[in-house]
Structure 1
Amino acid sequence: MTAVQQRPEDYEDVSAAERVRRVAVELRALAQDGATFAEGPYDQSRYAQASRLAAELFAVLTDRPADELHLELGRDSGYATPKVDVRGVLFDDDERVLLMQERSDGKWCPPGGWADPLDTPTAAVLREVREESGYEAEVVKLFACWERDVQGHTPPLPVAVFKLFFLCRASGTVQAAQELETLDVGWFSLDALPPLSPARVTERQLRRALEHHRDPSLPVDLD
């Protein structure tokens, strides 16, 4: 295995800041992979320096302290791979979408979050729906596997993320959502959406979800 290598066409039609971010992501992945397989202290030191340089680039892009980013990046080890985010999208009979208000930014998105080790994707998304909205649910289909940055989410992250969107339907009883992450829960028409959390979802993604809700035979979106 080798870390991702950017091709010239990967930089076409992107801003200078996005080009720098992609270089930083690749540099960080190379540093992590190198540290995983390096045998001597000299190589370990070199890869640690590369990781610090990646953190400096991210600091310029995000205005976060480089030391904080270096510590955050250092929590991951082993071969560098994308993280996995799962989202459960539910519609009611009036085609309103279920959204929860994030405590972290005060904005709205479908329930979801990072998949945990030992979870199946289905178990992960149903747990997130239950904990963040209070709704018991069942999965209808996986309707999209999207790469976060290709989808234009902000702010940029120092890691690659695959976003798995599941079409779900409510089942069983409804309980109170966990207050740790959720401020409020509600059903919204796509023509009257609250302020969405741009790190987690876009209006275009919700409209695509509605198309899958109307026609579950549509193929999975891959991008």
Structure 2
Amino acid sequence: MEPKWLEWAKQLQAIAQAGLTYSKDVYDLERFEMIRNLSVEIMAEYTEVDQDMIKELFTNETGYATPKVDIRAVVFQENKLLMVKEKADGQWALPGGWGDIGLTPSEVAVKEVKEESGFEVKPVKLIGILDKKCHPHPPSPYHVYKIFIQCEIIGGQAKKGMETSEVDFFTENELPTLSVERNTESQIHWVFKHLHHLEEPVYVD
């Protein structure tokens, strides 16, 4: 589903990032900087993001380029799905965020649910590892793997967080406006399969 221009831009960025990290020759470094600038121009041409902002995103990444990891917690209560309203775009998402250094994926899921919704949870099972490029998300400068972990509420109460303005539970047929940067409608319907069919296998890609 990812457009070719986005695939090319990210590949160019990855080549440039590795070259700028490991090359010693001044002329090679100049060429890799030119490649990075080309990737920035491609991103800016096809998105509404300013070139300076894109370049800042790219230049913050160093070393060998690897995918970033986004972890989402899937929490059900009375056949409804826990979601939080993101302050960033005013739309709804599963609690979650980038993986943290020093924390396991399950620990990140527990932390994010507490911070964003007020609930205390325990991880129950892994339900999927998705590659963002295979799903209908808007264009992103990063290559992202998304890990979905089903969790069970063990305490706490609904409470908005620093990045969230509302907390609520939704049925599959009454979903709010989704933050498609974070989760798509097809992904939400997919996680409901794990509520209704406990034998549903782990989804990959």
Please, what TM-score do these two structures have when normalized by structure 1? 0.88
CA distance in 2, matches of 1:207, 1:46: 46
Superposed counterparts of 1:1-223, under 5 Å: 18-93=3-78, 95-154=79-138, 156-174=139-157, 176-178=159-161, 180-223=162-205
CA distance in 2, matches of 1:104, 1:177: 14
Q: Which runs of 4+ in 1 moved over 4 A?
A: none
Corresponding residue number in structure 2 for 1:3? none
CA distance in 1, matches of 2:52, 2:39: 11
- Counterpart code for 1:132: E
CA distance in 2, matches of 1:67, 1:193: 36
Please, what TM-score do these two structures have when normalized by structure 2? 0.96
Q: Secondary structure at the match of 2:113?
A: helix
Q: Secondary structure at the match of 2:82?
A: strand
The alignment yields a C-alpha RMSD, in angstroms, of 1.3
Q: Secondary structure at the match of 1:81?
A: coil
CA contact (8 A) 2:96 2:113 kept: yes
Corresponding residue number in structure 2 for 1:4? none
Per-residue Cα deviation, 1:22-50 (whole angstroms, up to 9, x for no partner): 11010000101111210122111111111
Q: Could you list the runs of 5+ residues in structure 2 that have no partner in the other structure?
A: none
- Counterpart code for 2:197: D
Q: Could you list the runs of 5+ residues in structure 1 that have no partner in the other structure?
A: 1-13
CA distance in 1, matches of 2:94, 2:121: 13
- Counterpart code for 1:137: V
CA contact (8 A) 1:167 1:213 kept: no
* Identity level (%): 35
The total of aligned residue pairs comes to: 205
- Counterpart code for 2:170: F
- Counterpart code for 1:202: T
CA distance in 1, matches of 2:111, 2:160: 11
- Counterpart code for 1:190: E
For CA contacts below 8 A with separation 6 or more, give which structure has more relative contact order: 2
CA distance in 2, matches of 1:216, 1:76: 40
